[in-house]
Structure 1
Amino acid sequence: MHVHRTDPGHGAEVLSLAHVDHLLTETAIRTPAVRVARDGSVLPEASYTRGGSLAGKPLTGLVDPVKLMRLLDEGATIVLQGLQRYWSPVGDLVAELELELGHPCQANAYLTPPGAQGFAVHSDSHDVFVMQTHGTKMWEVHGDGGPGDLLLEPGVVAYLPTGTPHAARAQESVSLHLTIGINQLTWRTLLQREVGRLLAEVPDEHLPAGYLDDPARLADGLADHLAALADDVRRLDPAGLAAGQAEAFLSGRPPRMAGALLDRDALTTGITADTALRRRSGHPCVLVDDGDAVRVLIGDRVLRIPSRVRPALEHVATHTRLTPGELPSTDAESAVVLCRRLVREGLLEVAR
């Protein structure tokens, strides 16, 4: 376990008690975005949800704030799951962390009333960052030296490696903390994918009859297939596979288009050489040469842009804020055309 102290106000900027109040009481949030636990058990959805309708169509799993607050008063912990999907500040944090680590991440938040504990001692199958954003919570963390206590308060971030047994109890006030789980990509996963592709090319023929009495009948054929597979493995290109893995990750993240409607409105009123633009949070901008074009990996997809504007793209890749007029090796009109496209695609946004 590792503990880091930072600005106490930073966590509340990402997810505050007021933010959670808004999500739970003013929006049509539904399960499975919310679950509830008490004394180590997950409560049935019917105990905190209701039905409804929209345009004549039935809706199920709507969170009932009256039922939910009653359960909170009775000591239940409210869990907001997959927050990165519907709360932009958490989504920005998760997207930036994914680019730093190269691993998929997800975020949950835990709202626990004073003195309560939502879950018994347990361990997770992934690494976890824990950020306390409101109140305090005492964590019981089990390591090689036995259990130890750690008090988390706003500004304290803890890192728990995979498999670390832990439990946590709120102290004198309601506690809110954010956990970011790291869904690790592993060597085994990468090798299974590539070797599995080679195995799929092995002929799916029957084993020879009679091998039960004479297993040696399998030996020659097995030796041939193993040798062929070994040769195929040796021919794999590590550099190419590594580049492919990076490109797949940098073009397969969830879309991030917050503000896209406002940007389109700005496009109709005009973007000039002096318009202030910025890279959208959580978007990479990685350039891959591809003949007479450049593939631009922007997170959720790949753009293909003529290679003659590569210097301008390099400027975009290395600057979080810019204007079209700053782009090198291109005239003002071409720079504006390029920036308009990058705004439409979501890599850039108009600074507001």
Structure 2
Amino acid sequence: MTALSTLVGDVDEFFSGYLGRTALHRPGAASELPNLISVEDIDRVLTGSALRTPGVRIAKDGAVIPADRYVSKSTLGYADLGDVVDPVKAVRLFRGGATIVLGTVNLLLPHLHELCKDIETDLGHPVDANVYAAPPHARAFEVHCDAQDIIIVQIHGGKRWELFDAIVPNPGGGKVLTDLGASSSLYELREGDVLYVPRGMPHLVRTADSSSIHLTISINTMTWADLLRGMTQEILRSDAFAGALPLGRDVAERVAPMVGKYAGLLSAALIDRATPDSVHRIIYGRTAFADGLGTGLFRQALLDEPIALSDPISLRPGTWPVFTGDGRLTTGPGGLRLPREIAETCRRLHDGPLKVAELSPAPEEALKIADTLVKLGLCTTGS
């Protein structure tokens, strides 16, 4: 059972019946994910991590509180910093009715980062996590909709979610809405409950008599516009579109009849480029997909334990190598290009772990491939 199936139930049913369409409430589902995130984790992040804005936002009654009310001057080594969150000021605002939002907190908590990478593997889209800590009788934001599908996990206390039966197409992040004229449904979340909210579904969130902490897992879906824009940008860098427009006072008039010709060239190039490898490169070449789960990478280097042919080898969770048309692959933000045999091994490992001995008929070559993949941070070995 994967993390996603634990949260939403049958994944195929979730994709076909709920994703992008309607809400899903699963009472107690998160209780099957032990050590998800604790109050102690959140306290440690907020009070002991030297957080800087915009990693923290604080809001109350529909308004975001200016950062200068909860940051203080600080130093990091010899560097003077002016945007470090002061935990005393932040907690004072919390006591005064404000909600504290910790952004992309998965990057600060390894076990939560692993959860997000696990979910990414099932979804094929980047995933991150925010934490919302609210005092009793709090309302951080007005009725709004999000640009992402979100999975809510209630960590502490309770929270009331009012979801409106109207999906806003092409929603902007945090878009505030008025005069909805739509019916709504109320969901009272308790610890361990899970609530899925489709992107574009308006909602209002409040606490009652108790404080609350909930985790928002955001699914940062790529749109058709994103894909076509990426493919088009690649095409427009080619020589076919590098020529200058005509010169003269009547440039617009002379160019207008020629646009159809170049639009046709662009359309044909898009169709010709729509191969699995090319589309894979655009989708998984984004920054959010550049690196897999790095936990244990330093320990692996420090201990430098030898790799055995009998060891299992697998891709790190969240690793999506970008394959090129020549059979090789590019991976990581630096655009590192790797040999054909490495690319082929990564293709095979997408289907699941293998034994190191299965990487090549020649034992020395198998060990060399495994060693390269481990040192590049693409794979892990051992149980």
Name 1:227's counterpart in structure 2. Answer: 261
CA displacement 1:286-315 (0-9 Å, x = unmatched): 76673xxx42466665652343994x5555
Is the CA contact (8 Å cut-off) linking 1:107 and 1:181 kept in structure 2?
yes
CA displacement 1:154-203 (0-9 Å, x = unmatched): 33332222322211112343211122333332223333455565595464
**What amino acid sits opposite 2:317 in the alignment?**
S
Identify the match of residue 2 of structure 1 among 6, 19, 23.
Answer: 23
For residues 251-290 of structure 1, what are the structure 2 equivalents within 5 Å?
251-252=285-286, 253-256=289-292, 257-267=294-304, 269-275=305-311, 277-284=313-320, 290=326
In the TM superposition, residue 107 of structure 1 has moved relative to its aligned partner by 2.5
RMSD of aligned residue pairs (Cα, Å): 3.2
Partner Cα distance (2:320, 2:51) in 1: 30
Other structure's SS at 1:333 match:
helix
Bigger drift between 242-251 and 19-28 goes to: 242-251
Identify the match of residue 143 of structure 2 among 121, 127, 151.
Answer: 121
Identify the match of residue 96 of structure 2 among 74, 82, 98.
Answer: 74
Is the CA contact (8 Å cut-off) linking 1:108 and 1:179 kept in structure 2?
yes
Is the CA contact (8 Å cut-off) linking 1:49 and 1:61 kept in structure 2?
yes
In the TM superposition, residue 66 of structure 1 has moved relative to its aligned partner by 1.8
Is the CA contact (8 Å cut-off) linking 1:254 and 1:299 kept in structure 2?
yes
Name 2:8's counterpart in structure 1. Answer: none
Is the CA contact (8 Å cut-off) linking 2:161 and 2:189 kept in structure 1?
yes
Partner Cα distance (1:167, 1:119) in 2: 7
Name 2:367's counterpart in structure 1. Answer: 336
CA 203–229 in structure 1, closer or farther in 2 if over 3 Å, else same: farther
Other structure's SS at 1:119 match:
coil
CA 351–307 in structure 1, closer or farther in 2 if over 3 Å, else same: closer
Residue 156 (1) aligns with residue 220 (2) = no
CA 4–254 in structure 1, closer or farther in 2 if over 3 Å, else same: farther
Which has the larger Rg? 1
In the TM superposition, residue 208 of structure 1 has moved relative to its aligned partner by 5.4
Is the CA contact (8 Å cut-off) linking 2:164 and 2:202 kept in structure 1?
yes
Bigger drift between 234-243 and 245-254 goes to: 234-243
Residue 204 (1) aligns with residue 242 (2) = no
Identify the match of residue 94 of structure 1 among 108, 113, 116.
Answer: 116
**What amino acid sits opposite 2:23 in the alignment?**
H
Partner Cα distance (1:274, 1:131) in 2: 40
CA displacement 1:199-247 (0-9 Å, x = unmatched): 9546433575499xxxxxx4x7533431343244234335535532312
Is the CA contact (8 Å cut-off) linking 1:266 and 1:350 kept in structure 2?
no
Q: Unaligned regions of 5+ residues in structure 2, if any?
A: 1-21, 167-181
Partner Cα distance (2:361, 2:199) in 1: 49
Identify the match of residue 34 of structure 1 among 37, 50, 56.
Answer: 56
In the TM superposition, residue 122 of structure 1 has moved relative to its aligned partner by 1.5
Partner Cα distance (1:299, 1:54) in 2: 28
Partner Cα distance (1:210, 1:26) in 2: 61
Partner Cα distance (1:210, 1:116) in 2: 59
Name 1:295's counterpart in structure 2. Answer: 328
Name 1:215's counterpart in structure 2. Answer: none
Identify the match of residue 243 of structure 1 among 277, 298, 322.
Answer: 277
Other structure's SS at 1:237 match:
helix
CA 11–222 in structure 1, closer or farther in 2 if over 3 Å, else same: same
Give the TM-score normalised by the residue count of structure 2.
0.75
Other structure's SS at 1:141 match:
strand
Partner Cα distance (1:168, 1:135) in 2: 14
Residue 319 (1) aligns with residue 352 (2) = yes
Q: Which runs of 4+ in 1 moved over 6 A?
A: 286-289
In the TM superposition, residue 342 of structure 1 has moved relative to its aligned partner by 1.1
Number of aligned residues: 338
In the TM superposition, residue 148 of structure 1 has moved relative to its aligned partner by 1.8
**What amino acid sits opposite 1:319 in the alignment?**
G
Residue 174 (1) aligns with residue 211 (2) = yes
**What amino acid sits opposite 1:237 in the alignment?**
I
Is the CA contact (8 Å cut-off) linking 1:250 and 1:299 kept in structure 2?
no
Partner Cα distance (2:93, 2:33) in 1: 25
Partner Cα distance (1:308, 1:343) in 2: 11
**What amino acid sits opposite 2:91 in the alignment?**
M
CA 52–33 in structure 1, closer or farther in 2 if over 3 Å, else same: same
Identify the match of residue 111 of structure 1 among 126, 133, 146.
Answer: 133
**What amino acid sits opposite 1:115 in the alignment?**
H
CA 240–135 in structure 1, closer or farther in 2 if over 3 Å, else same: same
Partner Cα distance (1:48, 1:210) in 2: 54
CA 82–254 in structure 1, closer or farther in 2 if over 3 Å, else same: farther
Is the CA contact (8 Å cut-off) linking 1:250 and 1:298 kept in structure 2?
no
Partner Cα distance (1:57, 1:118) in 2: 34
